[in-house]
Amino acid sequence: KKVGFIFDLDGVIVDTAKYHYLAWRKLANELGFEFSKEQNELFKGVSRKRCLEILLDIGKIKATQEQFDTWMIDKNVDYLAYIEKMDAKEILPDVPRVLEYLKKKNIPIALGSASKNARPILEKVNLVSYFDSIVDGNSVTKAKPDPEVFLIAANNLGVNASSCIVFEDAVAGIQAANSAKMTSIGIGDSDILDEASYNFKDFTEISDSFLESLLSKKSK
């Protein structure tokens, strides 16, 4: 059976989670409240709109539609300023090795990200050419933990959902992969990502032999 790999972007390929955090914290501070790193965990993998809803809940702020729309734009303008100077140095350790390994074996690879900024980021870090399909926040109507983004990716790759393997750093992303019946690999804190099929701190822990065994298991 044909096997496919799906990578989340933020926090998996590049460490943009810190820039999202800085931009949301700036908005929170401007609105007069604090926003902690712990609270930011809930924002991982979650759409921009949903993030703002959660942020306003935290700050107990009721917004008009107009304010809501303005703050969404403000946050993204700040985020874009943070990522403006991004380059290949911001690719997380060993991500290129794993992409290269899969590419050499002709395994189809997709991006499955909630971000509307996914494509420009992949371009900045020069990784676009590895991806057979890029599914991002512009292509989906339902945000993670809904499996839509990963199901579209599997479909684009021409691979059955159950033959896909997903790398994710967000709880919502692991849940999305699990409900798509895909193999989920948590990248980050295994206590937070305890619903994943496998857990690794980062890609340096993912050996070629692990990938090999996963491939032979999934292709049966």
Chain residues in the site for Mg ion (CB under 5 A):
8, 10-11, 45, 169-170
Q: Tokens 């290129």: give the residue.
A: 96
The residue among 97, 83, 115, 107 whose CA lies nearest residue 15 is 83
The residue among 23, 11, 38, 26 whose CA lies nearest residue 144 is 11
User: Shortest gap between Cβ of 168 and Mg ion (angstroms)?
Assistant: 6
Binding of residue 48 to ligand BG6 (CB under 6 A): yes
Q: What are phi and psi of 27, to 5 degrees?
A: -65, -45
Binding of residue 134 to ligand BG6 (CB under 6 A): no
Quick check: is 8 catalytic? yes
User: Within 10 A of 209 (CB to CB), how many other CB atoms are there?
Assistant: 8
Helices (H) and strands (E) in the chain, counts: 9, 6
Q: Which is nearer to Mg ion, 4 or 188 (CB)?
A: 188
8 annotated as belonging to a binding site for a ligand: yes
Quick check: is 10 catalytic? yes
Q: Which of 9, 98, 182, 206 binds ligand BG6 (CB under 6 A)?
A: 9
C-alpha 50/C-alpha 93 separation (Å) is 29
Contact region with ligand BG6 (CB under 6 A), list: 44-52, 90-98, 193-201, 203-211: 44-52
Residues that bind ligand BG6 (CB under 6 A): 9-10, 20, 43-48, 51, 76, 113-117, 137, 170
Q: Which residues are catalytic?
A: 8, 10
